[in-house]
Amino acid sequence: MKVKSGEQRKVMGVLDIYGFEIFQDNGFEQFIINYCNEKLQQIFILMTLKEEQEEYVREGIQWTPVEFFDNSIICNLIENSTSGILAMLDEECLRPGVVNEDTFLTKLNQLFATHKHYESKETQNARRVMDTSLPARCFRIHHYAGKGFPRRRNCRW
């Protein structure tokens, strides 16, 4: 929008970071888009909720605390430079020998077997949980776009 010199306009921009798309199966591209959404949510949470509430405490302001899910555990699961999903994908791509989706999934299953936000058929069996909506040879990351709004992602690459 072009505004003439001296003309004032009021503009409100809205970024809907809670608008995660939900597909039955996500490819690598959607995985990266969802990861970016998680990072945006993390920034929003830290800047808007956490820091503001900490400031209220410092200034002695009375308010009703706002509870929120700190999604840094999800971001770390994906981006940790030594043991995150993206680091494991890099490592798997550089490994000599036969490398495919199955070897990658096996690596993730071993690394994240006890992670409460990671799920696959193998980890379901180990936890004695059966969810038929998760296909074989896939994994799922449990993350939240707000309390009571579970989002599940199946990734197939």
CA distance 22 to 133: 14
| pLDDT over 70 at 155, yes or no | no
Contact 107, 113 (CB under 8 A): no
Strand pairing class (118-120; 139-144): antiparallel
Per-residue pLDDT at 138: 85
* Choice among 23-27, 101-105, 122-126, 133-137 with the minimum mean pLDDT: 23-27
Strands (E) located in the chain: 118-120, 139-144, 150-155
CATH architecture assigned to 28-155? Up-down Bundle (1.20)
Per-residue pLDDT at 119: 87
* 127 to 50, 123, 145: CA distances (angstroms): 33, 6, 25
- Tokens at 36, concatenated: 């970016």
Report the side by side order of strands in the sheet with 118-120.
118-120, 139-144, 150-155
Instruction: Name the residue with higher pLDDT: 100 or 85.
Output: 85
Domain residues of the chain, as ranges? 28-155
